[in-house]
Chains A and B, each alone.
Chain A
Amino acid sequence: MAARILIADDDPDMRHLLRLILRRRGYQIIEAQDGKETLARASEERPDLILLDIMMPRMSGFEVCRRLQADKGTMHIPIIFLTAKSDPVSRSEGLRLGARDFISKMVGPKQLVEQIERILSPCRDDAAHASLASQA
């Protein structure tokens, strides 16, 4: 079954580009345009991965990450922050809150897909493991 990715970004152009290039790779795409919608879609849809923008209206990406990690239903979903800056403070804050990695938006589609695939592969294994563990 195709992996499902939740793209959470308030920039419709970035969502559009990510949707186009990730669908091409066979991923199913779910979208959210602000922090609160991201929380709702994550708990309804239980995606395999969340690509989470940091600067979002209604709730920041960091707060979304903290809440998802605190919820038993969504804590197993790997979160990757999408960031426009290589800011080490934001990076360590994101990792402290439980994000798996950071992806820079300052790259082209080629590197974007490469980064996502590199991160998604072990994340999907972890998610499958966590899902089995919760059923046991």
Chain B
Amino acid sequence: MDTFQVLYATDFLEVARSTRQRLNVYIPSLKIHLVSPAHQALTWLDARPFHVLLLEPSSSEEALSLLQTLRRQFPALPVIVLIEPASPQVVEAFLRASAYDCLPRKEVLPSRLASLLKHAGHYAQLLRQQRELNTCLDTNRLQIETLRQQLSSLIHDLRTPLSSIKLHLTLLQRGKEERREDYLATLRREVERLESLVQTALESAQPDPSASPAARQTCDINQVVQALVRDRQEMAHQRGLRFTWHLAPYLPPVTGNGPMIAQAIDNLIINALNYTPAGGEVAVYTMGHHLGEERWITITVSDTGLGIAPEEISHLFDRYYRGEAARQTGRPGSGLGLALSREIVEAHGGRIEVESQLGQGSSFTIWLPAIS
């Protein structure tokens, strides 16, 4: 049997004691806490939870004012009012003020009051369950949205290696015979990238996220960049771009998920290649930095492309944001690349900076903490 905690706030303490006894005869599971005078109800409700409030005031005006305050602070609490005289106007006023019920204090039968308190207790319980269900629904909606975003990210990430595979398969058929080995090496790396993306997606689908921590290992960023630029050379060549890379010697390693870091850098390179008109230049630099005791490395992707207007820069890393350059060139895209890059870099304790001049080009710099 359910036990309901009832707060009985009364201006008639002696009568209330007797009423409580009789109520418990009918329904022993009601735990009734007496408090007097009635306006002390607020203090008690602040201190601990109750299922129902039984309010027995001496004055209708004061009780209405108290009820309004209670409604603001405890909107889901059922309040049963015992009032005298209980004229139709008074009862209507209390019901309008959202009382659960309003009864004549001297005439109400204890059996009826006990039954009403029990119903009000069930009502309070139902309201609480409804709130819990709503919270569950909100959580589910959030999880569905997260899954939808992860799916969009995965599709975005799969597209780049797929396009590259398509390009290099064409080159295998029609390209230079002496470069077959290069094309095959690129194809192998792109397939490995696809494999890694599928593996990451499988890991993130594990029910227990702690069971699939992102694989953290020591990464040589120059090696990561070298593999990427080799695979993007053909794309740059086809777009009529000068594509150079400048790798700092003796770069300290970083700790992180190599394929994810490669994905973050690749998104910047792909964007630069996409939004730099033919005849332009795209350059990738790696550099080491000492900032006090800390060591950092930067990967800068600089281009002579379309550039970004100052007002666009603050939105660049928003998911699904596609800037003016995307609209101008009509290049297909999801607006996810930069958002993903930032998420990956920040998950590794780094940051991304942008320096750009509209119509002249941009530099995107990834900062990653290095192993000292």
Contact = CB atoms under 8 A, between A and B. Distances in A.
Interface of A: 12-13, 16-17, 20-21, 23-26, 84-85, 106-110, 113
B246 interface: yes
A108 B367 contact: yes
B367 A20 contact: no
B266 interface: no
Contacts of B281: 20
A17 B300 CA distance: 9
Given A13-B285, A24-B304, A25-B360, A108 B365 contact: yes
B314 to A, nearest CB: 14
B324 interface: no
B302 interface: yes
Contacts of B361: 20, 24
A99 B244 CA distance: 33
Contacts of B289: 106-107
Which range holds the interface residue count of chain B? 20 to 34
Nearest to B282: A20
Contact of A17 (B283, B304, B307, B367): B283
B355 A16 contact: no
B72 interface: no
Given A13-B248, A20-B283, A109-B365, 17 more contacts: A16-B244, A17-B283, A17-B302, A20-B363, A21-B363, A24-B357, A24-B360, A24-B361, A25-B357, A84-B290, A106-B290, A106-B291, A108-B300, A109-B302, A109-B363, A110-B354, A110-B355
Interface in B272-318: 281, 283, 285, 287, 289-291, 298, 300, 302, 304, 307
20 contacts: A13-B246, A13-B285, A16-B283, A17-B285, A17-B300, A20-B281, A20-B361, A21-B363, A23-B304, A23-B360, A24-B304, A24-B360, A108-B353, A109-B353, A109-B355, A109-B363, A109-B365, A110-B353, A110-B354, A113-B355
B225 to A, nearest CB: 13
B61 to A, nearest CB: 67
B210 to A, nearest CB: 35
A113 B246 CA distance: 19
